[in-house]
């Protein structure tokens, strides 16, 4: 067993609520895990050494919401939106048509390229949803491709009702034959609960069917309008309610008194020029908040967690500490993972050396590539 010492860490953000930050720190990695961390002066000897040169080290980002299996291009839709056209979610159908036409190899290659793009930017754990197939075979193969890239795979057959099918027939398919074909490849079940997509009753029915098939629930909730999504997520014990842009007082109370994480996706508001979620209201109410990219070809085509941290600080009034916590520890909570999103003895050795003295620089220097080195499972990526 080779051990690796990372020393010369100016600031270590551990993500461990018990001791979140350590100055002049060191870490020892062994067998792909963190074996020790603490003040540099007390570090044990190791076989190899990485000198951090006074830089800041953070846990690898946990991007708990991404749609990476798709084909096609929606640049024109973005241009039209920036010229004043409103976002409705209907553009999903454009991607569905292109995804159905694409071969398995093309879909797999494109998804793998996005995962590599994320990893180079410090994202060491990513969730990947289906949802651009909307047929039994296209959803199944989307999830099969996703399982080759991550353990965090989500069945989102209920992204939108495809053209030429009634909503009732489609819900029957999503809770029946499609679920049976997809469940072996999925950890999670998700529903786009929104006016024009799936209503409260349909959302409940689809999530319950998924849970019965052994999946865990997460919900696209309250993105475009105030609806029942957040309350259903809390009621059914979902790990996360995602978006949370339009919330009533009852929604905030439901989140605060449940274990459901509020995952905020400010890339979507940025790219659709919409009002941001009220992160302060959620944090002040005691809700656990996560940040994720929502990386998808329509409403948020960014793979950058650093960008989301900058948006969270500038646009949603989160402190830099709250933002980095949400992008690491919060994301892990949203995926019910205890082994990633923070650094302590026994966690996965997933970490990022930032070319900066503090994680605050992610917001203070927006758009600047500050990822110096990425370690995933103890391996330094060159
Ligand atoms: Zn989404």
Q: Is the dihedral of CA 182, 267, 75, 92 positive or negative?
A: positive
| Inter-CA distances, 250 with 75, 143, 234, 285, Å | 38, 35, 11, 12
Give CA–CA dist 33/13, Å, rounded.
17
pLDDT digits (tens, 9 = 90+) for 40-50: 999 999 999 99
Rounded to the nearest angstrom, the distance between the alpha carbon of 18 and the centre of ligand 1 is 32
Taking the centre of ligand 1 as the mean of its atom positions, its distance from the CA of residue 93, in whole angstroms, is 14
Neighbours of 357 (CB within 10 A): 12
| Distance from Cα 153 to the centre of ligand 1, integer Å | 13
> Which tokens in the block code for residue 326?
């949400």
Main-chain phi, psi angles of 334, to 5 degrees: -70, -20
> Tens digits of per-residue pLDDT, 147-176?
999 999 999 999 999 999 999 999 999 999
| Helix and strand counts by DSSP (H, E) for the chain | 15, 16
Tokens for 32, please give them.
Answer: 């792909």
Dist. CA 220 → ligand 1 center (Å): 6
CA of 299 to the centre of ligand 1 (A): 9
H/E element, 140: helix 136-147
For 4-38, how does the pLDDT look when each residue is reduced to its tens digit (9 = 90+)?
Answer: 999 999 999 999 989 999 999 999 999 999 999 99
Q: Is the pTM of this model over 0.85?
A: yes
- The pair of structure tokens assigned to 99 is 């995804």
Cβ 207 vs Cβ 236: under 8 Å? yes
Distance CA 223, CA 322 (A): 22
Could you tell me what percent of the chain has a pLDDT over 70? 99
């Amino acid at each position: 067993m080779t051990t690796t010492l990372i020393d010369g860490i100016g600031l270590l953000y551990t993500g461990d609520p018990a001791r979140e930050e350590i100055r002049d720190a060191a870490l020892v990695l062994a067998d792909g895990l963190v074996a020790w961390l603490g003040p540099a002066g007390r570090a044990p000897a190791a076989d190899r050494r990485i000198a951090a040169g006074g830089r800041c080290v953070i846990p690898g980002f946990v991007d708990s919401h991404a749609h990476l299996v798709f084909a096609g291009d929606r640049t024109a839709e973005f241009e039209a939106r920036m010229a004043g056209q409103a976002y409705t979610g209907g553009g999903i159908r454009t991607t569905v048509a292109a995804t159905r036409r694409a071969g398995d190899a093309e879909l797999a290659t494109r998804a793998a390229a996005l995962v590599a793009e994320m990893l180079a930017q410090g994202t060491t754990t990513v969730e990947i949803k289906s949802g651009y197939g909307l047929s039994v075979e296209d959803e199944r193969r989307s999830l099969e491709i996703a399982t080759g890239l991550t353990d965090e795979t989500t069945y989102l057959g209920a992204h939108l009702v495809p053209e030429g099918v009634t909503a009732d027939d489609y819900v029957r398919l999503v809770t029946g034959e499609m679920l049976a074909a997809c469940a072996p490849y999925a950890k999670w079940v998700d529903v786009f609960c929104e006016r024009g997509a799936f209503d409260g009753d349909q959302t409940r029915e689809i999530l319950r069917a998924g849970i019965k098939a052994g999946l865990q629930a997460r919900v696209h909730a309250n993105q475009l309008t105030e609806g029942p999504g957040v309350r259903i997520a809390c009621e059914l014990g979902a790990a996360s309610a995602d978006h949370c842009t339009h919330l009533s007082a009852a929604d905030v109370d439901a989140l605060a008194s449940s274990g459901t994480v509020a995952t905020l996706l400010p890339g979507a508001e940025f790219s659709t020029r919409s009002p941001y979620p009220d992160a302060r209201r959620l944090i002040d109410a005691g809700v656990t908040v996560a940040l994720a990219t929502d990386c998808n070809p329509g409403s948020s085509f960014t793979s950058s967690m650093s960008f989301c941290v900058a948006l969270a600080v500038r646009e949603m009034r989160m402190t830099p500490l709250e933002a980095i916590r949400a992008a690491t520890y919060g994301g892990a909570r949203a995926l019910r993972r205890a082994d990633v999103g923070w650094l302590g003895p026994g966690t996965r050795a997933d970490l990022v050396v930032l070319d900066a003295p503090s994680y605050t620089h992610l917001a203070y220097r927006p758009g600047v590539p500050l990822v110096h080195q990425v370690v995933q499972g103890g391996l330094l990526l060159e």
